[in-house]
Structures are given as structure tokens and as C-alpha cells.
Structure 1
Amino acid sequence: MNLIILLLPIIAIVLMFRSQKKRQSQMQQMQTALEPGAGVRTIGGLYAQVKAVNDETVELEIAPGVVTHFTKSAIAAVLDPQEYDAIINGRPADDELPEPEAEEADAEPVEDKPLSLSKDSAEKGDVEGGAPASK
């Protein structure tokens, strides 16, 4: 019984160190895969393109002509070119494209009139812009 109580914390510690070591090796592999032209996401959620890789830092282009320096450990993920393009340019991947919907011939067009609630229309209980005023 006492042996089980002593072994459980030791096993838990070994498992924690093992998973941490695995994460460190994955990060090391990702950092060695960094190359100019690759799209990346930083730990802060910033998407950028790698311009240059130095010993400790990476130069990232966050906008056309705007280059910043980040530590290699600030890179959370190296993205596939298609995924990076879809995120930056707003293009869905081919398998995510919506199916074209058939339009109904007898459907009436809907007016695209923005709903607004101004002070005057709220006092009058204007039907067009808002709800009747409560008193």
C-alpha cells in the first residue's frame, strides 16, 4: 500500500517530463523548418511571411514593406502555403467552398435597408425604423 502511494507521484512526474520533452522536440523541428517565404503564425496570433532566418531571430513581413524581428520561440506554427493564402486573402480552401444554392424564380427581392433607431423615430413609434416607444 505504501509502495503504491510512493510510486504514483513518481510516475506522474516522469510522464510530465516526457510530454514536455516531446513538445520541445516538436518546437525544435518546426524552428529548423523555418525558411524564407514560409507563412507563419506567432504565439500572439500574428500571421506573417518569413523574410530571413538568423541564429536567434526571424525577420517577419507583417505587411508589404513592413519587416519585424521576432525570436524563434515566438513562432507557434509554420503554415502550408494554401492555408496561409486562405487566411491572408480570405479564400476558402477548395473543400470548404459552399455549394451553390438554386435561386427560386418567384422569390421577391428583399430591400437592403439598414434598420436604425434614431431619437425622433423612437418617440413617434415609427414602424419603418424601430420599435414603438414605451412610456
Structure 2
Amino acid sequence: MSLVTLLPFIVLIGAMFLMTRSAKKKQQQAAQMRNEMQPGSGVRTIGGMYATVKEVNEDTVLLDAGPGVDLLFAKNAIGAVLTDDEYNRIVHGIEHDLKSDIIPDDASSLTETDGSDADASAASDDKPIDLGKKDADDDAADEPAEAKADDAEPKKTDGESDAK
């Protein structure tokens, strides 16, 4: 046998090895995350339910899903252990101070100047900018659109239509 005939098999075996290694690493990370759970941690189950860990056993986790609602889950059913900020934001709607997290969508924060220049630029920003094309007949552009439509063709009434 030549090396050319064995090359596809070698590549296939190498790809399988890399995929199983990656999957094994993900499983180890998930197991480590589940083993680090402590009472009071916020979690999301693989089914999408959010709860607080009440008690951690060898293979099970007791979750507090609400007042008087305790649920027993297998450890493998825990999809993610959440940070306190993330859990409070999702479950209770409590936002932490987002002022520090806001990134401006323009460069205004980079170009801020003193008040005198800001007042002049604010006055010019109040006037809308017309980006439409101008026709050669500028006089007609000043007339309202309804007047143009009335001049072009009279409106039909009493159920008349253009259909033939």
C-alpha cells in the first residue's frame, strides 16, 4: 500500500481524535462547574428553569424555585451556574449600575467641548437636513403634494373605478 491510499484514513482518525478530545474537555468543565455549586448559587437547568441552590448532594441538587417550592434535580440537569448579577438581572429584573458598561454608539464623547461651542452646534442640529433630490422646477417643490395630485386628475366618486 502506498502513503496516498492511507492518507485519508490517517486524516479521518486524527479528526476523530481531536473531536473526542474537545468533547471530553467540555464534559470535564461541566462536571467541575457542577461540583463547585454551593447553597445560595443561582442556576439554570437544562430545561431553562432558574432557581437557587438550597442543598447539594452527591448526585442530586435541591433547588428553591420560589416560596415553598423545592425541587430535586439530578446534578447533570444543571446547565449553568450563574453569577449573582446575572441571576438577579434575569430572575428579579434587578440591574446593576449600567452607567459604567455603556459604550456610546457615536464619537460624541470623544469630541465634547466647552459650553459655547456646544450651544452653537446644538442650534444647528435643530434644523432638519433635506437629503432629497431637487427638481429643476423648484417652484413646484414648494406647493403641497395634495395640490399637485388634484391638478393631475380629478378624483372619482360614487363607486366609479378605473377598471375596464
Q: Aligned to 1:28, which of 28, 31, 34?
A: 31
Larger RCO (CA within 8 A; separation ≥ 6): 1
Instruction: Give the TM-score taking structure 1 as reference length.
Output: 0.68
Work out the CA distance in 1 between the residues paired with 2:56 and 2:49: 17
Structure with greater proportional helix content: 2
1:89 aligns with 2:107: no
Asked whether the equivalents of residues 83 and 93 of structure 1 are also in contact (C-alpha less than 8 Å), the reply is no
One-letter amino acid matched to 1:89: H
Q: Once superposed, what is the RMSD of the aligned Cα atoms?
A: 1.6
In structure 1, runs of 5+ residues without a counterpart are 99-135
* 1:62 equivalent in structure 2: 65
Q: 1:24-55 CA deviation, whole Å, 9 max, x = no partner?
A: 11011101111100000000000000000011
One-letter amino acid matched to 2:52: Q
The alpha carbon displacement at 1:73 in A equals 0.3
Q: 1:91-134 CA deviation, whole Å, 9 max, x = no partner?
A: 23422788xxxxxxxxxxxxxxxxxxxxxxxxxxxxxxxxxxxx
- Where does 1:68-87 land on structure 2 (aligned, <5 Å)? 68-87=71-90
> Which of the pair has more CA radius of gyration?
2
The alpha carbon displacement at 1:76 in A equals 0.5
Work out the CA distance in 1 between the residues paired with 2:66 and 2:39: 15
Q: Secondary structure at the match of 2:43?
A: strand
Work out the CA distance in 1 between the residues paired with 2:74 and 2:58: 9
Work out the CA distance in 1 between the residues paired with 2:39 and 2:95: 24
Moved over 3 A (4+): none
Work out the CA distance in 2 between the residues paired with 1:45 and 1:95: 25
Q: Aligned to 2:46, which of 39, 43, 48?
A: 43
Identical counterparts, % of pairs: 47
